């Protein structure tokens, strides 16, 4: 199997909670540009391609150094199709015989704070672990997920993990949440399974600040704060 890596950046045009999110300027730069640049600066990829159904996103992505070989079909750009389906579609169309790429990295543009070093570090763990698939994850912080509760219409609370409610937080195992920052898979496995969510997947931990997913305007505000803090720390 070849060792070459391809980066796929899925960026559909139908964002509802933050319209036009993928090309909306963040700190003076289109959101998608941060992910394209992190991929390019990592030095790992034979190709960096964007999967989008939107000509405007395609134009911005190309201007910042990515390829957009074709526009994504509408059936792969709705609200219910898994993102991995768009990545598999791109892989199969660019490498129909499976002879060009050994590894596929999916990077979501709504995680703009990841760095080229993060991409390299995640790749290193992926190879060393010999996993078939690897997701980037962040460690839960002050909101302890073991103490999660449901609340019904009468405001009654029902613990999800009843036994954990009587335990101290320091005595409970660490839990992790996936973030779309950097996902790796062996190309043949992704073709076969059609998803990164396979039983044999592993997790690479990224600091929560750099794993932030922007899905709402509040997330956008948080990203701006984190960028400013990072900029101030470098002075």
Q: How far is CA 190 from CA 6, 101, 130, 163, 198, in A?
A: 13, 11, 15, 37, 9
At residue 188, the pLDDT reads 97
Q: How far is CA 100 from CA 4, 184, 230, in A?
A: 7, 16, 38
At residue 196, the pLDDT reads 98
Spell out the per-residue pLDDT of the chain, length 235, in tens.
Answer: 589 999 999 999 988 899 999 999 999 999 999 999 999 999 999 999 999 999 999 999 999 999 999 999 999 999 899 999 999 999 999 999 999 999 999 999 999 999 999 999 999 999 999 999 999 999 998 889 999 999 999 999 999 999 999 999 999 999 999 999 999 999 999 999 999 999 999 999 999 999 999 999 999 999 999 999 988 887 6
At residue 233, the pLDDT reads 80
Residue found by looking up tokens 């912080």 in the block: 141
């Amino acid at each position: 199997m070849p060792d070459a890596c391809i980066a796929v950046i899925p960026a559909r045009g139908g964002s509802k909670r933050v319209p036009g999110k993928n090309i909306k300027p963040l700190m003076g730069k289109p959101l998608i540009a941060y992910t394209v640049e992190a991929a390019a600066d990592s030095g790992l990829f034979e190709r960096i391609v964007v999967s989008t159904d939107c000509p405007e996103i395609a134009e911005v992505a190309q201007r910042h150094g990515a390829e957009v070989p074709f526009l994504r079909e509408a059936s792969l750009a709705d609200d219910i199709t898994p993102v991995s389906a768009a990545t598999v579609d791109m892989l199969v169309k660019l490498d129909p015989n499976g002879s060009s790429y050994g590894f596929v990295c999916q990077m979501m543009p709504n995680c703009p704070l990841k760095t080229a070093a993060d991409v390299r570090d995640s790749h290193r763990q992926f190879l060393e672990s010999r996993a078939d698939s690897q997701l980037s994850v962040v460690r839960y912080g002050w909101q302890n997920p073991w103490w999660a509760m449901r609340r019904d219409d009468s405001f009654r609370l029902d613990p999800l993990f009843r036994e954990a409610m009587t335990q101290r937080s320091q005595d409970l195992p660490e839990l992790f949440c996936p973030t779309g920052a950097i996902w790796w898979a062996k190309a043949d496995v992704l073709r076969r399974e059609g998803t990164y969510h396979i039983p044999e997947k592993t997790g690479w931990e990224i600091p929560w600040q750099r794993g932030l997913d922007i899905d709402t305007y509040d997330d956008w505000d948080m990203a701006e704060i984190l960028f400013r803090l990072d900029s101030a720390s470098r002075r």
